[in-house]
Amino acid sequence: MKNIYLLFYYSIAQFLPMQPIPGYKFFYKFRYFLVKNIIKHCGKDVIVKNKAYFGNGSRLSVSDRSQIGQNCRLSGDIILGSDVLMGPDVIIMATSHAYERTDIPINKQGEAEEKPIIIGNDVWIGTRVIILPGVTIGDHSIIAAGSVVTHNIDAYSIVGGVPAKLIRKRI
């Protein structure tokens, strides 16, 4: 049955429009219904924006009232806490390529060990943020648009840049 939900999501639902197009609430509910039956865990009132990609969803957990952003790409073992806001074009990758050996082309070395990503509660992830494998982002944090997050972020932090650095604390 999961394959049928995946088929409907990737062939139809992901392309349905968002706010402010008339009927957008129905489209949100339709995507939510499908995603709830696809991903590992889906909390209450999750919003899935259009063109979100998460593979087969088997390693994605999303908690209550969180949003999966427009045109995002989520890959690997990822946990999104409650009340997470995600801007468009966000990339969260818990997987990567192996590259240690120089005598073998990178494309022949396979995948590196997967490193789970954990996003805390009440986190705002800005437009076009990239979060790399193994990162944990603490509760109540803000990740500025265009940032590349390569290391753990403490709770109540505002970070930005490439690589992301602490701008200030929220408390």
Q: Annotated catalytic sites, by residue?
A: 97
3-state secondary structure of 48: strand
DSSP string, 78-122: EEE-TT-EE-TT-EEES--B----SSS-GGGS-BPPP--EEE-SS
Sign of torsion over alpha carbons 91, 96, 97, 101: positive
Where residue 102 falls (left for φ over 0; alpha for ψ -120 to 50; beta otherwise) is alpha
Closest by CA to 119, choosing from 143, 99, 101, is 143
Distance (Å, whole) CA 132 – CA 112: 13
Distance (Å, whole) CA 145 – CA 158: 11
Amino acid code (one letter) for 151? H
3-state helix, strand, coil in the chain (%, to 5): 15, 25, 55
